[in-house]
């Protein structure tokens, strides 16, 4: 097996113009059945309810992460930076390409309910000898699958490789900000990728940013901040996720209580029983999940059927910001729902989205890799020490609670603005 293709192959990509493939291993991994399955997992879960253009898949995104990683490494090689270990190229590219392999349908939305951790699944697929991905990687060397997996679960010996795809400014985040901005149509997520990449330097086992790139980093972090509040935490999206979680929670409960399901395909049964196999995971894509939602919308259980119908026809829960004590508000709503014959366990969700556009490392409180600025004297400084703007958004966890509940009487569906 030769490691380099006779002729570079390209994929047309709307975000990066072209994805360039130069290695046979990469080409083969893209053509593996486990990677092709990512075409059937959407990148942004239920965001399409808010932004109808957001129908892109993890397949596209994974190619994008690979391409950005390839560009970073090519720059390091072109400039022959001594701190970049040239022998780490292939493993970095493989890890970048495969890092999302383990995602299930609507993954972030339903993972908490079904205990299906995507990163663990990614590693399992890579390491399981029955998969095509494993077989392709093994041709590089017998322990190559394990090594690739260790990059993904952040245990690889060289942290510089890990930081390429798992830091606070990595190829993963860079691609999804640009890609999600492109497909939703919002412009908040755009930043100057080419300039940012040119400012990266391998330095003492880490990837750092040249100090003239500080404003570029600010720009990138502001994109992140804006995408969080405009897209990822949009209440319409959160509302649909709440319903979806309740659907799967209810279905699992019914299944465990031996409800006679008309439609219960193997992989879902495995999942509910906590014994999902690698093959079951392969079959568990969004087509299957959507089909289950459609079939279950005809199930006899009224709650399950209603929740599924709501999801399919976008009759989502209404939302309201909670001022004051959430407990009071919850109690009040619980009473109201019960009076209307609705089970509060499935028709009421309190939600407080939280994540940080940038997480400052203070006294070991975070395990995220910080963004470091390298000055001309070779000194490193954590970005929030230098930038007031970064400081201003670092603290913004803005956990304002929102309450979701049905309100059908009035047709008051939300739209973007």
Token pair for residue 64? 């994008």
Nearer to a copy of itself, 210 or 345 (CB): 210
Give dist(CA 82, CA 76) in Å, integer: 9
Cα separation values, 352 from 47, 145, 174, 235, 401, Å: 17, 38, 25, 10, 4
Closer residue to a copy of itself (CB): 235 or 370? 235
Smallest gap from residue 276 Cβ to a copy of itself (A): 16
Nearer to a copy of itself, 53 or 159 (CB): 53
Q: How far apart are CA 257 and CA 252, in angstroms?
A: 8
Closer residue to a copy of itself in complex, CB, 155/314: 314
Residue nearer to a copy of itself on the CB measure, 150 or 223: 223
CB of 277 to a copy of itself, least distance (A): 14
Give the shortest CB-82-to-a copy of itself separation in angstroms. Answer: 15
Instruction: Give 151 or 306: the residue with its C-beta nearer to a copy of itself.
Output: 306
State the minimum distance, in angstroms, from the CB of residue 109 to a copy of itself.
16
The distance of closest approach from Cβ of residue 192 to a copy of itself in the complex, given in angstroms and rounded to an integer, is: 5
Q: Which is nearer to a copy of itself, 158 or 391 (CB)?
A: 391
Crossing angle of helices 235-256 and 286-296, in 10° steps, is 70
Polymer length of the chain: 417
Q: Which of 11, 114, 142 is nearest to 64 (CA)?
A: 11
CA distance 246 to 319: 16
Find the shortest distance in angstroms from Cβ 327 to a copy of itself: 25
Using alpha carbons only, what angle is made at residue 123 by residues 18 and 38, rounded to the nearest 5 degrees?
Answer: 40
CA distances 32 to 27, 126, 310, 313, Å, are: 9, 12, 36, 35
Shortest separation between residue 119's beta carbon and a copy of itself, angstroms: 23
Tell me whether residue 14 or residue 205 sits nearer to a copy of itself (CB atom).
Answer: 14
Phi then psi dihedrals of residue 158, to 5 deg: -100, 105
Least distance (Å) from a copy of itself to the CB of residue 249?
A: 21
- Pick between residue 21 and residue 160 the one whose CB is nearest to a copy of itself: 21
> Within the chain, how many helices (H) and strands (E) appear?
21, 9
Strands 17-23 and 4-13: antiparallel
| Alpha carbon distance 60, 14 (integer Å) | 10
Question: Cα dihedral sign for 255, 261, 267, 270?
Answer: positive
SS3 45: helix
With contact defined as beta carbons under 8 Å apart, do 297 and 280 qualify? no
In angstroms, the CA 246 to CA 237 distance is 14
What is the nearest approach in angstroms of a copy of itself to the Cβ of residue 46? 11
């Amino acid at each position: 097996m030769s490691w380099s293709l006779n002729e570079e192959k390209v994929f047309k990509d709307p975000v990066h113009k072209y994805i360039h493939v130069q290695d046979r291993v990469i080409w083969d991994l893209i053509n593996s059945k486990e990677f092709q399955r990512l075409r059937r997992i959407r990148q942004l879960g239920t965001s399409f309810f808010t932004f109808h253009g957001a129908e892109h898949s993890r397949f596209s995104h994974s190619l994008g992460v690979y391409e950005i990683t390839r560009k970073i490494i090519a720059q390091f090689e072109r400039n022959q930076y001594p701190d970049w270990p040239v022998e780490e190229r292939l493993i970095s590219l493989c890890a970048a390409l495969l890092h999302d392999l383990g995602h299930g349908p609507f993954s972030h939305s339903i993972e908490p309910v079904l205990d299906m951790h995507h990163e663990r699944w990614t590693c399992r697929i890579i390491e399981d000898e029955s998969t095509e991905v494993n077989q392709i990687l093994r041709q590089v060397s017998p322990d190559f699958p394990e090594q690739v997996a260790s990059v993904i679960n952040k245990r690889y010996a060289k942290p510089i490789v890990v930081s390429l795809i798992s830091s606070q400014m990595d190829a993963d985040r860079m691609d999804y900000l640009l890609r999600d901005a492109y497909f939703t149509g919002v412009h908040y997520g755009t930043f100057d990728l080419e300039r940012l990449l040119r400012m990266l330097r391998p330095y003492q086992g880490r990837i750092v940013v040249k100090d003239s790139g500080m404003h570029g980093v600010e720009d990138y972090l502001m994109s992140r901040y804006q995408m969080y509040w405009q897209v990822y935490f949009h209440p319409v999206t959160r509302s649909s996720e709440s319903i979806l979680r309740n659907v799967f929670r209810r279905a699992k409960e019914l299944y465990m209580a031996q409800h006679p399901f008309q439609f219960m395909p193997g992989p879902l049964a495995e999942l509910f029983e906590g014994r999902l196999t690698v093959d079951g995971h392969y079959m568990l894509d969004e087509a299957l999940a959507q089909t289950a939602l459609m079939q279950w919308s005809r199930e006899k259980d009224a709650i399950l059927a209603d929740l599924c119908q709501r999801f399919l026809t976008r009759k989502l829960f209404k939302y309201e910001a909670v001022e004051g004590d959430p407990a009071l508000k919850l109690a009040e709503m619980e009473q109201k729902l019960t009076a209307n014959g609705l089970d509060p366990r499935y028709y009421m969700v309190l939600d407080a989205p939280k994540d940080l556009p940038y997480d400052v490392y203070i006294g070991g409180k975070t395990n995220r890799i910080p963004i470091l600025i390298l000055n001309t004297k070779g000194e490193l400084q954590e970005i929030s020490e230098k930038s007031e703007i970064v400081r201003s958004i670092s603290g913004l966890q803005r956990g304002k609670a929102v309450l979701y509940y049905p309100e059908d009487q009035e047709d008051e569906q939300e739209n973007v603005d």
